[in-house]
Structure 1
Amino acid sequence: MFLEALGSAVLGLALAWAALHRLPHRLPSRALVLPTGVAGSLFGAFVTHSALGTGHLLPVLAGALIVSTASLSLLLRPAERFRRRSATA
């Protein structure tokens, strides 16, 4: 279980780092993105481990990756070129 937690935390950190380098203009500060990736990954590993039980390392890491990606996607802001002004602004 320690290996699952450590692996999912490293996976979430790597995913958050990659998102910061790929989409820096669409994400908030680094101090928010990195912990969000790790926390989403740990939560995904916890949920997947609770559902499957022990002995399923790869599916637990896959669940961690999916939840971490979903939580990081909630931080994305719209691209500047697609932003439209409202009629009242």
Structure 2
Amino acid sequence: MILEVLASAALGLVLAFAAAHRLPHRLPTRPLVFATAVAGALFGDFVTHSALGPAPVLLTLLGAAVVSAASLSLLLRPAGRLRRRSAPA
């Protein structure tokens, strides 16, 4: 069980590194990205393990990856400036 938690935390770090490397202009500071990804992976591992019980480790890691990616997606900022039209007078 300890190895499962460590593996999900490592998976969160890998996902955070990939996101920070691929989308640095759309994400906030790196410490926030890494903390969010690891926390999401640990929470995803906990929820998946609670729901499935003693399931194979790959299923719980899949749940950890899904929740970590979802939490990272909440940090994304829009790609460009938002164009706002002024109301016609």
1:1-89 correspondence to structure 2 within 5 Å? 1-80=1-80, 83-85=82-84, 87=86
Q: CA deviation at 1:55?
A: 4.1
Normalized per residue, the structure richer in helix is: 1
4+ residue stretches of structure 1 with deviation over 2 A?
A: 85-88
Structure 1: runs of 5 or more not aligned: none
Q: Give, in angstroms, the shift of residue 87 of structure 1.
A: 2.5
Percent identity between the two aligned chains: 67
Normalised TM-score (structure 2):
0.91
Structure 2 residue ranges without an equivalent (≥5): none
Q: CA deviation at 1:85?
A: 3.0
Normalised to the residue count of structure 1, the TM-score between the two structures is: 0.91
RMSD: 1.4
